[in-house]
Structure 1
Amino acid sequence: MNKRWSIKDVPAVDNVNRLAAELNIDPVLSALLLQRGVNTFEEARFFFRPDIRHLHDPFLMKDMERAIERIEHAIINKEKVLIYGDYDVDGTTSVAVVYSFFKQYHSYIEYYIPDRYKEGYGISQQGIDYAAQHGFTLIIALDCGIKSVDKIAYANSLGVDFVICDHHTPGDELPEAIAVLDPKRRDCNYPYKELSGCGIGFKLIQAFAEKNDIDFEKVARYADLVAVSIACDIVPITGENRTLAYFGLQKLNSEPCIGLKTLMGVAGKSISYTISDIVFLLGPRINAAGRIDDAKHAVELLIACNEADAQLKGDLINIKNTERKEHDLSITDQALEMIGSDDVLIGRKSTVVFNENWHKGVIGIVASRLTEKYYRPTVVLTQSNGHVAGSARSVFGYDLYEALCECSDLLIQFGGHKYAAGLTMHPDNVPAFIDKFEEVVSASITSEQLIQQIPIDAELRLEQIEPKFFRILNQFAPFGPENMAPVFISKNVYVSGSPAIVGSNHIKMTVMQPGSAHFDCIAFNHGEYASQIKKDVPFDICYAIEENVWREKRTIQLNIKGIRML
């Protein structure tokens, strides 16, 4: 697939040079800071030196005082409290954090994860009935609930109170809960709006600790779980999230909780985790519990108090992840065959595929794979409990949620974000939805949005890549949305020696520019360029700069994202 190289706007030269002089760094690095909204020496100090004291006062969040008062009342009066969370990584880590913390101060507490297939996403009537029937008078809902107006009204009628901790965009009406914690509320002045669901849960226990003179260390011990939620829920690595991710990664790599330590072991990598490692190694395994079996297994792992219990759950989850992979690959192959054999589907600006027998637990993953292949807004549908359920994924710059709003007359319900969403509809509406979604996407998507782009931060001469530059560049981590690992372009580079094909379609080679050192490179899935790259033939590359460790030897390596022959 051809990709469009998109070079970001260069900040004003005066500002670049001023900040470079103040910080005594290469102007390319100061330009990267300015692109990230870091404009002054003091802001750079905050950026490069995250401090736990940078966390905001949790009581700045609307309804936090009411939430803590209701929880304190429940503890004093020995009420039964139910910690309720979604079945994905953000939801299960949220439950693990809040349940584990309050379990130390309240004996009458349990947790509840809805069944993905029987109850669906969010607050369920079945979950409320469970609470009422078992004497729970307070539910703390995590990573869900902000749009559950009818469900909360039902709970109120049964005498079950709710404290909602959510991070999704509210609807026009808020639920009548005791407290609704969500920085995205229009009337909430909390300074940072992009916390994960687990992040909201963390602020809840932070507030409780402050109010009850509990040492902050008893809150900070859960930072590794918060980092996992931040990574897997694809929230921006900016502001407070960046601080939480920074310290969460430190804990994950030094003293992880027993459950995460076990999961890291079964994943085959026990040290030096990055945000990317969490996304690709830990996240799928945690998610697999709810996709294939029961997400409660994930919570049981994450709250485990001894290694034997954790190992049992870790091994089980790893088996479920293997099953998930098998379903994922099989359904992806079927979907690709369905598209490839249909000229109408191939020619569309959207992809919608439906098979009533596909496993609901993996259709989101399949939607992501189809988006990678065809690079256009994609919806994968399957049959579930008499309805048709779907997962949708989008391409850079295109608002999928808005497109689904245009199709809302055909949907029972939908929710999500700009780039990912879930939906349900009546089976009879599938043909009409396929046509309507294509009509909406065709009318609103641009031709540029249908071509995958490689965002490039800056142009760089290879001679600028020296130890100090690389050391400072590493301090831009943790990398993730809105703080991605910088990608550079270097023009007129030359190969030293001959490129080699490794694996199925990857290139290993060494490049240089006149006057520069030689740099080892890896170019994944660029094997078609091997025959064109020759000595004395210049070409352009765009790449990220990484550290490669081989047999305890550390070297700088360029991870090439694109090659352009001249």
Structure 2
Amino acid sequence: MKKRWVINTPPEWEKIDKLSKELNCSHVIANLLLQRGVDTAEEAHAFFNPTLNMLHDPFLMKDMDKAVLRLEKAISTEEKVMIYGDYDVDGTTAVALLYKYLKNKCENPEYYIPDRYTEGYGVSILAIDYAARNGISLMIVTDCGVKAVEKVRYAKSKGVDVIICDHHTPGDELPDAVAVLDPQRKDCHYPYRWLSGCGVSFKLAQAYSMKHNLPMADLYKLLDLVCVSIASDIVPITGENRILAHFGLLQLNRKPSLGLKTILSFSGIGKDLTINDIVFRIGPKINAAGRVESGNKSVELLIADDETRATEVAASINNFNDQRKKLDHDITEEALEYINQSHYDQSQKATVLYNPNWHKGVIGIVASRLTEYYYRPTVILTESNGLATGSARSVEGFDLYYAISQCSEFLENYGGHKYAAGLTLRLENIEPFKAKFQKIVSETITEEMLTPQINIDAQIKLNDITPDLYAMIQKFAPFGPNNTIPVFMTENVTNFIGSKQVGRNNEHLKLVVVDDTRVCNDRSGIAFGMGEAFSRISKGEYFDICYTLQENEFMGKSDIQMMIRDLKFKEE
């Protein structure tokens, strides 16, 4: 698929040169820092050397004082407390964090993860009824709840108070809870808006510890959970999230909790765990329990303190993940086959598919895969409890949440953000919803948005690639949304000696190229899935490349290798 290259507008040269001299670093590094909002040497020092003292005061969050007061009351009077959370990674890590934090402070705290199939997303009536029946007077709701106006009202009528720790966009009306902790509230002036649900729960625990002068070291042992939530929920890794992720990764690599250590062992990850490892190898396993059976299994693993039991639960979760992979593969293939049938209108700028037999637990993954394949906003629907329930995914730059909100007359409920959302509707409203959603997308999406985009941080020459540059780039980690690994572009490269096709079917390229400076600057790279370009490259044609940098170790030697993201011949 053809890709659109977008080169970030560089800062003013005077600013780049000034910061480069202040830091005694290359202009390339100064450019990257300025693009990330790091404008001075002092800010650069803080960026490269984060400390936990840089975390914001949790009491700057709206309602935090109310939440802490209510939690104090529950603890001092030995009330029964229940921690409630969504069944995904962010929800289960948030529940696990608060459970581990409170288990030695509260009188036998409980946790509750709703069933994806019988209770659905958000605050569950069944959970409130369970709390009321069992004398639970305080529910701490994590990673959901900010739109649960009626559910919170119902809980109050049952004598159950609610504290909400959410990070999703609120509706027009906030629930009448004891406290609504959500940095996305319009009236909340907390300095950082993009915390995960587990991150908001961490701030509640931080506030309680600060007020009671409890050792922060005990709280910081839970940062591995926060890091897993940040990575898996794809929130920006900037500001406070970057600090939390940095120290959470240190915890994961040095002394993870028993549950995470056990799931790591099932994932075959060695040293130097990265955010990418969490996103693609750890998060999906934790998620699989809620997709295939119950998110309670994930919490049980994350709070485990018995090695034998942790191994048993991790093994079952690993098995759930294998089942999830098969379901994901089979449904994706079925969806692709349906789209490729002659009667399907592929001219539409959005995809909406419904099949009552598709597994509810994987439709979000299928929506993501179809979005990547066809590169257009996608909604995948199935049937659950007599209603159509679905997951939606977007493309770069398109506000999916807005498009869905414009179809609200056909929806029972919906929630999410710009790039991902969930929705529920009556079966008879599927076709009207589909028609209006496709109309809204067609009217608001641009042709540029329908072409995959590669954002390029800087244009450089091959002789700019040095061990010092690579070492400095590693200090920008942890990488993730809004702090992605730098992507570079080099123009007018051509084959040197050693370029060849590789792979079982010659589908990949091993490149050795020089650019137009030709000053002993040949560089090697790997280009997956671009083997067909070799016939032109081998003839000496000039082309442009965009790439990231990676250290390649082979037979005891290490070299800096270009990981080619895309290449374009000059007429393209």
TM-score by length of 2: 0.97
Offset of 1:72 from its aligned partner? 1.1
Q: Who is 1:518 aligned against?
A: 522
Tell me, what secondary structure is at the counterpart of 2:206? helix
**1:482-515 residue CA offsets vs partner (Å, 9 max, x unmatched):** 1111100011222332322225532222223311
2:509 partner amino acid: I
Tell me, what secondary structure is at the counterpart of 1:479? coil
Q: Which one of 495, 508, 515 corresponds to residue 506 of structure 1?
A: 508
Q: Does 45-54 or 504-513 show the bigger shift?
A: 504-513
Note if contact 2:80-2:106 (Cα within 8 Å) is conserved in structure 1.
Answer: no
- Segments of 5+ residues of structure 1 without an aligned counterpart are none
Q: Who is 1:427 aligned against?
A: 427
- Segments of 5+ residues of structure 2 without an aligned counterpart are none
Note if contact 1:81-1:136 (Cα within 8 Å) is conserved in structure 2.
Answer: yes
Q: CA RMSD in A?
A: 1.2
Q: Who is 1:205 aligned against?
A: 205
Distance 2:460 2:236 in 1: 26
Note if contact 1:494-1:535 (Cα within 8 Å) is conserved in structure 2.
Answer: no
1:26-175 map, 5 Å: 26-175=26-175
Q: State the percentage of identical aligned residues.
A: 53
Distance 1:547 1:353 in 2: 42
Q: Who is 1:533 aligned against?
A: 537
**1:401-429 residue CA offsets vs partner (Å, 9 max, x unmatched):** 00001111111111001000000110011
Q: Who is 2:566 aligned against?
A: 562
Distance 1:503 1:106 in 2: 59
Offset of 1:325 from its aligned partner? 0.5
1:44-443 map, 5 Å: 44-342=44-342, 344-443=344-443
**1:46-98 residue CA offsets vs partner (Å, 9 max, x unmatched):** 11111111000111111111111111111111110001010000000001101
Number of residue pairs the alignment of both structures matches = 566
Distance 1:552 1:143 in 2: 46
Tell me, what secondary structure is at the counterpart of 1:100? helix
1:60 partner amino acid: L
Note if contact 1:501-1:530 (Cα within 8 Å) is conserved in structure 2.
Answer: no
Offset of 1:342 from its aligned partner? 3.7
Offset of 1:254 from its aligned partner? 1.0
TM-score by length of 1: 0.98
Q: Who is 2:448 aligned against?
A: 448
Note if contact 2:19-2:40 (Cα within 8 Å) is conserved in structure 1.
Answer: yes
Q: Who is 1:547 aligned against?
A: 551
Note if contact 1:79-1:108 (Cα within 8 Å) is conserved in structure 2.
Answer: no
**1:312-359 residue CA offsets vs partner (Å, 9 max, x unmatched):** 111100100000000000000000011111454311100011111000
Offset of 1:166 from its aligned partner? 0.4
Note if contact 2:467-2:560 (Cα within 8 Å) is conserved in structure 1.
Answer: no
1:452-531 map, 5 Å: 452-495=452-495, 496-503=497-504, 505-513=507-515, 514-531=518-535
CA shift in 2, pair 1:296/1:551, >3 Å: farther
Distance 2:294 2:272 in 1: 29
Distance 2:553 2:171 in 1: 49
Distance 1:506 1:429 in 2: 46
Distance 1:551 1:298 in 2: 40
Note if contact 1:497-1:535 (Cα within 8 Å) is conserved in structure 2.
Answer: no
Offset of 1:541 from its aligned partner? 0.6
Distance 2:202 2:458 in 1: 36
2:143 partner amino acid: D
Distance 1:189 1:87 in 2: 29
Tell me, what secondary structure is at the counterpart of 2:322? helix
Note if contact 1:462-1:516 (Cα within 8 Å) is conserved in structure 2.
Answer: no
Distance 2:423 2:504 in 1: 39
Distance 2:353 2:127 in 1: 32
Tell me, what secondary structure is at the counterpart of 1:478? coil
